Amino acid sequence: MRRVASTAVAVVLLAAMLTGCGGKDLDDPRQVVISLFGAMERNDQSALIGILDMAELMKTRNEDYAVQTSNPRSFTSPDQILKDLTEDGKTKQLWFKHQRIVNTAEIMDDVAMVEVTFVDKEASRGYRTKFGLHKINGKWRIYSFKTVQDSDG
């Protein structure tokens, strides 16, 4: 009986530590973006649900929500977005073929912009983006992926 109680206490403490770490990451917009790439790499759709504002991402209609293209894709369900960002999804494949550099965050009250540079080493080209984040229930969530400019060299 004593062993079962010790094991239960250990499990509760471990869960509390893991919950605390996850929550802390969502207090810093830059860490949220880093967590996004980690979740994408692990194909962890559950983690993505806690990082993304799916409703806002689905509102993008006239331009692609994550990939610069002449034929914008629009998504009608969170499941479509999760599939696009994991496994063989188009956005994951495009983003992960480039080096990803998470730069600085600009925070203005409950809205933040985190600059991310995607570097195509073969073409000697970089693509600067700014991911938009806003607070929902006190936690930062990504609501947009917007290409700012591409640069040679």
Predicted confidence (pLDDT) per residue in 78-106, tens digit: 999 999 999 999 999 999 999 999 999 99
Phi and psi angles of residue 121, each rounded to the nearest 5 degrees, phi first: -65, -35
Contacts of 48 (CB under 8 A, 6+ apart): 36, 39, 40, 82, 85, 86
Confirm if 94 and 67 have CB atoms less than 8 A apart.
yes
Q: Give mean pLDDT, residues 25-51.
A: 95
Please report which helix (H) or strand (E) contains residue 140, including its range.
strand 139-152
Q: Among 5-14, 43-52, 77-86, 91-100, which is the least confidently predicted range? A: 5-14
Q: What whole-number distance in Å separates Cα of residue 132 and Cα of residue 42?
A: 22
Q: Which fold has domain 2-152?
A: Nuclear Transport Factor 2; Chain: A, (3.10.450)
144 residue type, one letter: S
CA 1 to chain centre: 44
Reported pTM: 0.78
Give me the residue spans of the domains in the chain: 2-152
pLDDT tens digit sequence for 107-151:
999 999 999 999 999 999 998 999 999 999 999 999 998 855 555
What's the confidence (pLDDT) of residue 148? 59
Tokens 């994951």 sit on residue: 92
Q: What is the mean pLDDT of the chain?
A: 81
Q: Which of 148, 113, 108, 96 is nearest to 30 (CA)?
A: 113
The pLDDT confidence band at residue 72, using thresholds 50, 70 and 90, is: confident
